[in-house]
C-alpha cells in the first residue's frame, strides 16, 4: 500500500484541521503526537504500552540506530518494526539534528557532514544519500530528507546558505530514495526569516514530496518567535499534504500549533519529564517528587489510564524517590496517555467547529498553577 493523506475537516475559525495518514502499517488520525523511540524503544515502556499511549505511529532515531546496533542488523531482522516488535507505523528522522548538535565535533560541506562519534570519537560521514540508505534499511513508513538545522538566531548570511544547502540535499535525498513503500518528507528551514521560509517551501514544492515538515523550531527560540513562523507558513503550506512540526510536544505548544494547521508532532519531552518526576495534569504540570505528595491518596490526574486508576501520588513519589524504574514507567505512560487523550479531544472540537473555545478553556485550567 502506498502512503496517502486524506484531509477530513478544517475549522472555520482557524487553520486547525483533522485528517488521516494512510500508511502500509495502518491509518493514523491527525492531528497526532508521535512518542519518540530513539533507540528502538519508547523509554521504560513495552511496545504494547506504547501502542496504548499512541495512535500507532512512533519515531525512531536514524543517527543512534545507525551507530548501534547498525542498520544491517536491523535489516537482517526484516526492518525496525520487526526488530522491536512494533507491527504498527514508524517514522524515522534523518539523523541530521543529532549530527548538527555535535557543534564541536563536525564539519559541514556541500557533500555532507564529517563528524566524530559522540562516544568513541570515531570519524564518520553522513550525506543525504547515506541517510536515505540507512532509512531504507530501517524500513519506516515515513522518512526524512537530510537537512541542516542551524541555530534559530544564526546570522542572516549563514541562514541563506543553509537553506540553499538544505534544498540541494533535499533533491539528492529524493534522487537516492528508491523504496515505493516509504513516504519521504522534505523539511522547511529558514529560522525566523519569513522570506527564507517561503523560499525553502517553494523549493521543496518544486522538487515534490508527499509531506512537508517544519524544522528549525523548538531549538531555543521564544514561544512568540515559534508561533510567528507558524502563523506565516500556515496559509502557504499545501492543503493536500500533511504538515509535521518537528520537536514539539508540550500540551500548550501542541494546541497552539494545531490552531496553526499542524498535523504531526514528536518530542522526547513527555517521557524525559516523566523520568524526572514531572507529570501532566488538567491543572498544569506537577513535580510528583515534591514533599507535598508524600501522603497523597489522589491519582496523578482525573484520567482513565491505568496509572490514575490504580496508583496514588504517594506511591509513585515513593518509587521515584527510591529510584525504582517502575515509577518512571508509570509517569511516562500517563504523560503519553494524557497527550493522546488531549489530541483526541482536539480532533473532536475541530469536527464540531469549536476548537478555539476548547483550546482556551483547556489552557486557562492548565495554566492555573502557573506552569
Mean pLDDT of 10-16: 97
| H/E segment holding residue 27 | strand 26-30
Kindly report the pTM of this predicted structure. 0.96
Parallel, antiparallel, or unpaired: how do β-strands 284-287 and 278-281 relate? antiparallel
Parallel, antiparallel, or unpaired: how do β-strands 123-126 and 113-116 relate? antiparallel
Mean pLDDT of 295-318: 98
Mean pLDDT of 274-285: 97
Mean pLDDT of 176-190: 98
Mean pLDDT of 282-294: 97
Mean pLDDT of 46-75: 97
- Chain CA centroid to CA 144, Å: 12
Distance of alpha carbon 282 from alpha carbon 297, whole angstroms: 17
Distance of alpha carbon 35 from alpha carbon 270, whole angstroms: 8
Of 93, 141, 263, 301, the catalytic one is 93
Number of other residues whose CB lies within 10 A of the CB of residue 163 = 25
Q: In this structure, what C-alpha cell is assigned to residue 8?
A: 477530513
| Dihedral over Cα of 338, 343, 348, 349: its sign | positive
**Residue 8, by phi and psi: left (phi above 0), alpha (psi -120 to 50) or beta?**
alpha
Mean pLDDT of 308-330: 98
Residues 6+ apart with CB under 8 A from 20: 5, 6, 8, 27, 28, 29, 30
Residue 96 binned pLDDT confidence (cut-offs 50, 70, 90): confident
Check pLDDT > 70 for residue 252: yes
Is residue 93 flagged as an active site residue? yes
Q: What proportion of the chain, given as a percentage, has pLDDT over 90? A: 90
Distance of alpha carbon 125 from alpha carbon 40, whole angstroms: 22
Mean pLDDT of 10-20: 97
Number of other residues whose CB lies within 10 A of the CB of residue 68 = 11
Q: What proportion of the chain, given as a percentage, has pLDDT over 70? A: 98
177 by DSSP, 3-state: which? coil
| H/E segment holding residue 16 | none
What is the structure's pLDDT at 116? Answer: 83
Backbone φ, ψ for residue 28 (5° rounding):
-120, 115
Distance of alpha carbon 23 from alpha carbon 69, whole angstroms: 26
Query: What DSSP string runs through 314-367?
Result: HHHHHHHHTT-HHHHHHHHHHHHHHHHHHHHHHHHHHHTT-HHHHHHHHHHHHG
Distance of alpha carbon 7 from alpha carbon 331, whole angstroms: 33
- Chain CA centroid to CA 299, Å: 28
The closest of 233, 344, 335 to 285, measured between CA atoms, is 335
**Residue 368, by phi and psi: left (phi above 0), alpha (psi -120 to 50) or beta?**
alpha
Of 141, 147, 263, 266, the catalytic one is 266
Check pLDDT > 60 for residue 370: no
Asked: is 4-243 a CATH 3.20.20.105 domain? The reply is: yes
- Asked whether 216 and 248 are in contact (CB, 8 A), the reply is no
What is the structure's pLDDT at 368? Answer: 77
Average model confidence (pLDDT) across the chain: 96
List, by residue range, all CATH 3.20.20.105 domains of the chain. 4-243
What is the structure's pLDDT at 103? Answer: 62
323-357 pLDDT tens trace:
999 999 999 999 999 999 999 999 999 999 999 99
243-166-177-172 Cα dihedral, nearest 10 degrees: 150
Distance of alpha carbon 230 from alpha carbon 192, whole angstroms: 10
Amino acid at each position: 500500500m502506498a502512503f496517502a493523506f486524506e484531509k477530513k475537516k478544517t475549522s472555520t475559525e482557524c487553520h486547525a484541521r483533522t485528517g488521516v495518514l494512510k500508511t502500509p502499517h495502518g491509518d493514523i488520525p491527525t492531528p497526532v503526537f508521535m512518542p519518540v523511540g530513539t533507540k528502538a524503544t519508547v523509554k521504560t515502556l513495552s511496545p504494547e504500552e506504547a501502542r496504548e499511549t499512541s495512535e500507532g505511529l512512533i519515531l525512531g532515531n536514524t543517527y543512534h540506530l545507525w551507530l548501534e546496533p547498525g542498520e544491517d542488523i536491523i535489516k537482517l531482522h526484516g526492518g525496525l518494526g520487526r526488530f522491536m516488535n512494533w507491527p504498527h507505523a514508524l517514522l524515522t528522522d534523518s539523523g541530521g539534528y543529532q549530527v548538527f548538535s555535535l557543534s564541536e565535533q563536525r564539519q559541514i560541506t556541500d557533500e555532507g557532514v564529517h563528524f566524530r562519534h559522540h562516544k568513541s570519537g570515531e570519524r564518520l560521514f553522513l550525506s543525504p544519500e547515506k541517510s536515505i540508505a540507512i532509512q531504507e534499511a530501517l524500513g519506516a513508513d515515513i522518512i526524512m530528507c537530510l537537512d541542516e538545522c542551524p541555530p534559530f538566531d544564526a546570522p542572516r548570511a549563514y541562514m541563506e546558505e543553509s537553506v540553499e544547502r538544505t534544498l540541494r540535499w533535499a533533491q539528492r535525498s529524493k534522487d537516492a530514495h528508491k523504496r515505493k513503500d516509504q513516504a519521504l518528507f522534505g523539511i522547511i528551514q529558514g529560522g525566523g526569516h519569513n522570506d527564507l521560509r517561503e523560499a525553502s517551501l517553494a523549493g521543496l514544492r518544486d522538487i515534490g514530496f508527499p509531506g512537508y515538515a517544519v524544522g528549525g523550531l523548538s531549538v531555543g527560540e521564544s514561544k512568540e518567535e515559534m508561533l510567528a513562523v507558524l502563523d506565516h507558513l500556515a496559509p502557504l503550506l499545501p492543503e493536500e499534504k500533511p504538515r509535521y512540526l518537528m520537536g514539539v510536544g508540550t500540551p500548550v505548544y501542541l494546541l497552539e500549533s494545531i490552531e496553526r494547521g499542524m498535523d504531526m508532532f514528536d518530542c522526547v519531552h513527555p517521557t524525559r519529564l516523566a523520568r524526572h518526576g514531572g507529570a501532566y495534569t488538567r491543572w498544569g504540570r506537577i513535580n510528583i517528587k515534591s514533599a507535598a505528595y508524600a501522603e497523597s491518596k489522589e491519582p496523578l490526574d482525573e484520567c482513565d489510564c491505568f496509572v490514575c486508576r490504580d496508583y496514588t501520588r504517594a506511591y509513585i513519589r515513593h518509587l521515584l524517590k527510591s529510584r525504582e524504574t517502575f515509577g518512571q514507567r508509570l509517569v511516562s505512560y500517563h504523560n503519553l496517555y494524557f497527550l493522546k487523550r488531549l489530541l483526541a479531544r482536539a480532533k473532536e472540537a475541530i469536527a464540531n467547529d469549536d476548537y478555539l473555545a476548547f483550546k482556551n478553556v483547556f489552557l486557562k485550567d492548565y495554566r492555573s498553577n502557573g506552569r
